[in-house]
């Protein structure tokens, strides 16, 4: 049976607040726990009016305290901005408190504008330097998580505390091939963001599997795919809900993302021919429909990628419709 997980970006619908968005993330994690989803990840975005999640480590601690069994993780920590040592310690604390339930997903995206990235890196004039050191950061992160700093290494003698006997699951996240290369080289798990890039991901995952090197983290490759899913009782209703995501993605491409648009915003927007072509192309990043339709499409997508788990990003203007998507999916896949 296909495993389903959740990625929640704490979206802020038009007319709502960041505080409300974070509380909705907590409610959604509790529902995912109850409905039988495998894991629940939260994202990291900065200086964003439309997304409230800026500190996944803090949010994960709250979610873990308010759920029972579901795995909690970051989707993901933007490693180039931070010290690998401090990230390892943050997630060791979480793993010590909630053993066997913590995932550490890391990415190399800036998570905001260059100006914001500079602020995250202490005012650095070269915000892209973090991308160059990302491969080494991943290696250091693994050394700290597994207590495997080699003799003679500059980090010899340094251990990440607390000292625990478990290791968070390490996932590298990406929407192109490079993160898959790093994941394979280091024996880490890999999640491809189909919801960001709907083209070419299948070959990325195949390449990751073929190049995978066994490690202390994983003996065999472990891959997952994230995808937008909008599920409603009928296709017509799902399509209406998807139109808010259509406009949201279009606005992001135009650099004008201020929140999740409302159905009224969709009705009022005047689409150009170019807009409509972008909407059509962006639908490749989504699965939209009634439960049976969505289940079939999700199974086909998983088979096409060769994975046994999909991470669902249920989009929509209102929290109720997103919650309903997850409830319908759980029933269609008989998760509980």
Q: From first to last of its 336 residues, what are the pLDDT tens digits of the chain?
A: 899 999 999 999 888 999 999 999 999 999 999 999 999 999 999 988 889 999 999 999 999 999 999 999 999 999 999 999 999 999 999 999 999 999 999 999 876 677 777 788 776 655 555 567 899 999 999 999 999 999 989 988 999 999 998 999 999 999 999 999 999 999 999 999 999 999 999 999 999 999 999 999 999 999 999 999 999 999 999 999 999 999 999 999 998 877 789 899 999 999 999 999 999 999 999 999 999 999 999 999 999 999 999 999 998 889 999 999 999 999 999 998
Q: What is the spatial distance between Cα 178 and Cα 281, in angstroms, rounded to a whole number?
A: 23
Tokens linked to 52: 């409230």
Q: What is the spatial distance between Cα 318 and Cα 20, in angstroms, rounded to a whole number?
A: 12
Q: Which of 242, 224, 295 is nearest to 6 (CA)?
A: 224
Q: What is the spatial distance between Cα 107 and Cα 171, in angstroms, rounded to a whole number?
A: 9
β-strand partners of 170: 104
Question: Is 320 within 8 Å of 31 (Cβ atoms)?
Answer: no
- 246 φ, ψ to 5°? -55, -50
∠ CA 117-225-89 to the nearest 5 degrees?
Answer: 50
Q: Which of 41, 120, 112, 110 is nearest to 78 (CA)?
A: 110
Helix (H, G, I), strand (E, B) or coil at 146: helix
Residues 6+ apart with CB under 8 A from 14: 258, 259, 260, 261, 262, 265, 317
Q: What is the spatial distance between Cα 40 and Cα 32, in angstroms, rounded to a whole number?
A: 7
β-strand partners of 4: 310
DSSP state of 80: G
Q: Which of 268, 284, 274 is nearest to 253 (CA)?
A: 274
Its CATH class, for the domain covering 3-332, is alpha beta
H or E stretch at 48: none
- Residue 240, pLDDT score: 95
Q: Which of 251, 166, 173, 257 is nearest to 216 (CA)?
A: 166
Q: What distance lies between CA 307 and its chain's CA centroid?
A: 16
Q: What is the spatial distance between Cα 313 and Cα 182, in angstroms, rounded to a whole number?
A: 24
Q: Which of 96, 88, 97, 79 is nearest to 135 (CA)?
A: 79
- Residue 140, pLDDT score: 96
- Residue 117, pLDDT score: 77
- Residue 260, pLDDT score: 87
């Amino acid at each position: 049976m296909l495993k389903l997980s959740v990625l929640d970006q704490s979206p802020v619908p038009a007319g709502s607040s960041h505080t409300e968005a974070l509380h909705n993330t907590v409610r959604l994690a509790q529902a995912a726990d109850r409905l039988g989803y495998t894991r629940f990840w939260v994202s990291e975005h900065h200086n964003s009016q439309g997304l409230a999640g800026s500190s996944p480590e803090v949010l994960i601690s709250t979610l873990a305290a308010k759920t029972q069994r579901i795995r909690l993780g970051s989707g993901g920590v933007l490693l180039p901005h931070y010290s690998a040592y401090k990230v390892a310690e943050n997630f060791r604390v979480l793993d010590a408190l909630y053993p066997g339930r913590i995932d550490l997903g890391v990415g190399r995206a800036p998570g905001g504008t260059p100006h914001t990235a500079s602020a995250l890196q202490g005012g650095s004039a070269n915000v892209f330097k973090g991308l160059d050191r990302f491969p080494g950061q991943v290696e250091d992160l693994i050394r700290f998580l597994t207590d495997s700093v080699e003799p003679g290494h500059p980090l010899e003698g340094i251990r990440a505390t607390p000292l625990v006997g478990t290791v968070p699951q390490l996932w590298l996240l990406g929407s192109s091939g490079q993160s898959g290369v790093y994941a394979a080289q280091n024996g880490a798990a890999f999640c491809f963001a189909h919801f960001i890039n709907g083209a070419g991901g299948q070959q990325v995952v195949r390449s990751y599997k073929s190049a995978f090197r066994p490690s202390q983290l994983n003996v065999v490759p472990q891959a997952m795919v994230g995808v937008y899913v909008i599920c409603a009782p009928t296709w017509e209703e799902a399509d209406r809900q998807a139109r808010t995501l259509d406009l949201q993605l279009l606005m992001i491409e135009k650099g004008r993302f201020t929140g999740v648009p409302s159905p009224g915003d969709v009705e009022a927007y005047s689409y150009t021919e170019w807009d409509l072509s972008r909407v059509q192309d962006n639908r490749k990043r989504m699965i939209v429909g009634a439960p049976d339709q969505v289940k079939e499409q999700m199974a086909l997508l998983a088979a096409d990628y060769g994975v046994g788990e999909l991470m669902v990003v249920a989009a929509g203007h209102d929290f109720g419709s997103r919650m309903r998507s997850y409830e319908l999916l759980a029933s269609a896949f008989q998760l509980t």
